A and B are shown apart, each in its own frame.
Chain A
């Protein structure tokens, strides 16, 4: 499984866009990029995922660079309730190239949304 690198913490003003970066320079062609977040003491929450193309849903947008070595999660209008630890995870399909489909968490980015 490819490893990811994220900044340990970031601040964002309420109402502004939060842009959370993630480096995954060793990602392989069949591996997806996933984003989860964990609000204090709760179970992690799935946000979005992508393979090659940019993705958008009701929660966020995911921008993946053309070489797939990095990505950015964008929360368009951050609110205080978006304060959480955000995890970027790379995960491949089971049985492809020996991948076992495990979801392995790193240390994530603590996003603090300031009023």
Chain B
């Protein structure tokens, strides 16, 4: 198993550009989540999903869209990038409440 795979690992965007951060897991996990981590700060939940076709907002959803058309994939879309979205983005997946989340290695995004 590859676990949770995030692509790209690094990205530089110009203000106003859009892009999609990819997240894929091969563990047949129902639950998937996106977090952002600003320098020196803790992780904040952006969006999460409890299964294909089901998504919900987290703590900081503004400026981001998600969809979950398959169990394996949970892409995060930045609609119009802003410098305030410069951060490290982590994707995570889990089988359910009584199991821990597995995290990807992160995407480091810089918006200039």
Q: A15 at interface (Cβ–Cβ under 8 A)? A: no
Given A101-B50, A106-B42, 13 other A-B residues pairs in contact with their CB atoms under 8 A: A34-B100, A36-B100, A41-B88, A43-B4, A44-B101, A49-B98, A85-B42, A93-B97, A100-B56, A102-B58, A103-B92, A103-B101, A105-B35
Once the chains bind, are A102 and B45 in contact (CB under 8 Å)? yes
Q: B33 at interface (Cβ–Cβ under 8 A)? A: yes
Residues A83-115 near B (CB distance < 8 A) = 85, 87, 91-94, 100-108
Given A34-B100, A46-B100, A105 contacting B44 (CB threshold 8 A): yes
Q: How many residues of A contact B (CB 8 A)?
A: 27
| B→A interface (CB under 8 Å) | 4, 31, 33, 35, 42-45, 48, 50, 56, 58-59, 88, 90, 92, 94, 97-98, 100-106
Within the complex, the shortest CB–CB distance from A22 to chain B, in Å, comes to 14
| A-B residue pairs in contact (CB < 8 Å), sample of 16 | A32-B98, A38-B43, A43-B106, A46-B101, A46-B102, A47-B100, A87-B42, A92-B97, A102-B58, A103-B33, A103-B94, A104-B59, A105-B35, A105-B43, A105-B45, A106-B42
Given A32-B98, A42-B105, A94-B50, A101 contacting B45 (CB threshold 8 A): no
| A→B interface (CB under 8 Å) | 32, 34, 36, 38, 41-47, 49, 85, 87, 91-94, 100-108
Given A92-B97, A101-B31, A103-B101, A44 contacting B48 (CB threshold 8 A): no
Contact residues in A for B101 (Cβ distance below 8 Å): 36, 44, 46, 103
Total of A-B residue pairs, C-beta within 8 Å: 60
Docked Cα-Cα span, A85 to B92, in Å, equals: 18
Docked Cα-Cα span, A87 to B44, in Å, equals: 13
Once the chains bind, are A105 and B42 in contact (CB under 8 Å)? yes
